[in-house]
Structure 1
Amino acid sequence: MERPAIHPYIPIIIGVISVALSAIFVKLATADPGVIAFYRMLFSVLLMLPIFLFKYRGEIFTLSKKDWIFSTIAGIFLAFHFILWFESLNYTSVASSTVLVTLQPIFAFVGTYFFFKEKISFKTLLSGAIAIAGSIIISWGDFQLSGSAFYGDMLALAGCALITIYLLFGQDVRKRISLITYTFVVYSISTVTLFFYVLIKGESFGPYSGSDWFWFFMLALIPNLLGHTLFNWALKWVSTNVISIAILFEPVGAAVMAYYVFNETLIAPQIIGGIIVIAGIVLFVVDEKKIKEKFFSKKA
């Protein structure tokens, strides 16, 4: 495996900032969750199509049966992750929803252990536990044990499990094919899945206001093509666990933006929790031995 041109943490940080905008764009759109997800993925595929056809179309014929199966599973789980998460934003706050949907280490630590036999160090477990604790504190003021907020929380938690499965299958395929080909294939499968979901649900494909179309496009451009594509790029050199830990910073950024856009007040637990989340992430990334072995090794 070749050495990356830049340290993988840099695009991961940019990716986290980009995906933090996702919840804001979704809440600004007025369409049904399935429709928002469909156009997000459709516009992403259309924007990628010229690059794929010009430079990478031949690579699609090199995909093995296993690659197609794993990519299909990843695309389907990505589609339903968006459906569940977008729906959760109709019932609970941006802070609660993004906190729950980014608790991926709970699932990723287990998944990478059983699927890829990756060893989990005590420092990894400790940093993950600290970051997760911080995420729970952020949403402590918003969590409700009954009513619509609780339903939204459960949808977000289910979405968390699905995005982790998407990353786990992507981690395997991404090591064998280019970023553009992998992303184009998975996003295309996700788009088709969402098309049939919207059709079966009887939701409307249009018409929508100009502002809705703008938010559909922005969802495709920033969280998808910039954010998730950077995560997919990083999967070639890092474990799903690394991305899952970093994504825990997303609720911090989303909560701050929700305060300015929707007047969702930041309370003391959210501020304290945000600091703890960052502390957990820092603890993980300063593991020098892990950096040397996983990011700067000249041999796979």
Structure 2
Amino acid sequence: MSRVSPPLALAFSILALSTSAILVRWSTAPSVVVAFYRVLFTLLLLAPVALFRYRAHFRALSVRDGAVAAVTGVALAIHFAAWFESLNWTSVAASVTLVQTQPIFVALGAFFLLNERVTVRTVGGIVLALVGAAVMSVSDLLFGSAFAGTALYGNALALVGGVMAACYVLAGRSLRQRIALLPYVTVVYGACTLTLFVIALASGGALTGYPAREWALFAAMAIGPGVFGHTVVNWALAHVESSVVSVSLLGEPVGATLLALVLLAEVPGTATVLGGTTVLVGIFLTARAQRLDT
């Protein structure tokens, strides 16, 4: 990885992340089961390398850092469970855009929990993104679509996913400065897998008996959005400014919407496009304001 261009790796990771919603839609398994196997398979791919090459890092991990990493994994599990379920109730464009509002909630969380300063520029970006989210949330109800009766619920789940993604970022922000990438994601993904396993059992979702096509989709989610998506983004955070990473992630809703148009024949409505664009502009302004103010 030391010979890889960070901007190029980040661009590739955004492309990999853009396939996530499509792969989830193609699966017929319960959404929490899909989330469980995606994270489990990602963990199985990364953990052996981490345990072999970074044994000293695991031994040096403090109880406090391990506990925070575990909490981060729980937040990530709720993020996946809520977001994957939202794709059953609303459009790919709305779901992926709303779940990417996490920079807005990171800014709010940093203000309320970490006493970080929030400027007028940041507030303006937050307000603009929330206005766009409101437009997207009511557009299907007002103008009708394939998700007219369920979009509000699906959009709410996507926002919950965005809030949990923000908790994931806030909880793990300082850890990545002290812990190497693979040990960090191994602990986080381990806690995430265990949490999703408990949720799947509690919801009654079957964990076995799926055809080969489903197992192939689970593996594709782990390799694509899992390893080459989220894990490469975590690596990029050590080489690229976090504000740049946040803005780059805005490419995921655009890529996912285009893939949904081509592969699912899902055409977003005018209000969804306008609301989504407003959300993305608001997120961009928030990330840019945080960069200028630090």
Instruction: Determine the C-alpha separation between the residues in 2 that align with 1:158 and 1:279.
Output: 20
Please state how far the C-alpha of 1:143 moved relative to its aligned partner: 5.3
- Correspondence for 2:249: 247
How far the C-alpha of 1:50 sits from its partner, in A, is 2.8
Rate the CA distance shift 1:143–1:69 in 2: closer, same or farther, 3 A. Answer: farther
Matching residue of 2:12: 14
Q: State which drifts further: 116-125 or 150-159.
A: 116-125
Alpha-carbon deviation of 1:49? 2.4
**CA displacement 1:103-144 (0-9 Å, x = unmatched):** 113311111234444444544444555566566666764356
Equivalence for 2:187: 185
* SS of aligned partner of 1:142: helix
2:55 to 51, 54, 57: 57
Q: Aligned-pair distance for 1:230?
A: 2.4
* Structure 1 partner of 2:152: 150
Query: Residues 51-200 of structure 1 correspond to what in structure 2 (within 5 A)?
Result: 51-127=49-125, 141-142=139-140, 147-200=149-202
The root-mean-square deviation of aligned C-alpha atoms, in Å, is 3.2
Q: From 215, 218, 227, give the equivalent of 1:216.
A: 218
1:225 aligns with 2:227: yes
Aligned residue for 2:40?
Answer: 42
Decide whether aligned partners of structure 1 residues 256 and 136 sit closer, same or farther in structure 2, where only a CA change above 3 A counts: farther
Shift of 1:76: 0.7
CA contact (8 A) 2:137 2:155 kept: no
1:72 counterpart letter in structure 2? A
How far is the alpha carbon of 1:86 from its aligned partner?
A: 1.0
Q: Which amino acid aligns with 2:257?
A: A
List alignment gaps of at least 5 residues for structure 2: none
Match of 1:179, as an amino acid? L
- Range with greater deviation from structure 2 (270-279 or 97-106): 270-279
Q: What is the deviation of 1:11?
A: 4.1
Contact 1:96 1:142 in 2 (8 A): no
Q: Deviations over 1:264-289 (max 9, x none)?
A: 113444555566566567667878x9
| Residues 1:246 and 1:125: Cα distance change in structure 2 (over 3 Å) | farther
Whole-Å Cα distance in 2 between the matches of residues 82 and 273 of structure 1? 23
- Offset at 1:261? 1.1
SS in 1 for 2:207: coil
Instruction: Name the CA distance, whole Å, in 2 between partners of 1:143 and 1:99.
Output: 18
Once the two structures are superposed, residues 2-57 of structure 1 have per-residue CA deviations (whole angstroms, 9 ceiling, x without a partner) of xx988865544433332221111100011011110111011001111231122112
Deviations 1:191-226 (A, max 9, x none): 111122222222211121221111101111111112
**Structure 1 residue 74: Cα displacement:** 0.6
Q: Give, in whole Å, the separation in 2 of the partners of 1:162 and 1:242.
A: 21
* Aligned residue type for 1:57: R
Q: Percent identity?
A: 37
CA distance in 2: counterparts of 1:102 and 1:269, whole angstroms = 18
- Asked if structure 1 preserves the Cα contact closer than 8 Å seen for 2:87 and 2:154, the reply is yes
More displaced, 193-202 or 275-284?
A: 275-284
Hey, what's the Cα distance between the residues in 1 that align with 2:278 and 2:117? 25
The 1:155/1:26 distance shift into structure 2, 3 A limit, reads same
Q: Is the 8 A contact 1:81 1:163 kept in 2?
A: yes
* Cα offset, 1:290, TM superposition: 4.2
Uncovered stretches (5+) of structure 1, i.e. residues with no partner: 295-300
CA distance in 2, matches of 1:84, 1:205: 18
Which aligned pairs between 1:22-37 and structure 2 lie closer than 5 A?
22-37=20-35
- In the superposition, the TM-score normalised over structure 1's length comes to 0.82
Separation in structure 2 between the aligned mates of residue 106 and residue 281 of structure 1, nearest angstrom: 6
- Shift in alpha-carbon separation, 1:97–1:72, aligned structure 2, 3 A: same
Distance 2:213 2:194 in 1: 24
Partner of 1:298: none
Give the TM-score normalised by structure 2. 0.83
Counterpart amino acid of 1:183? V
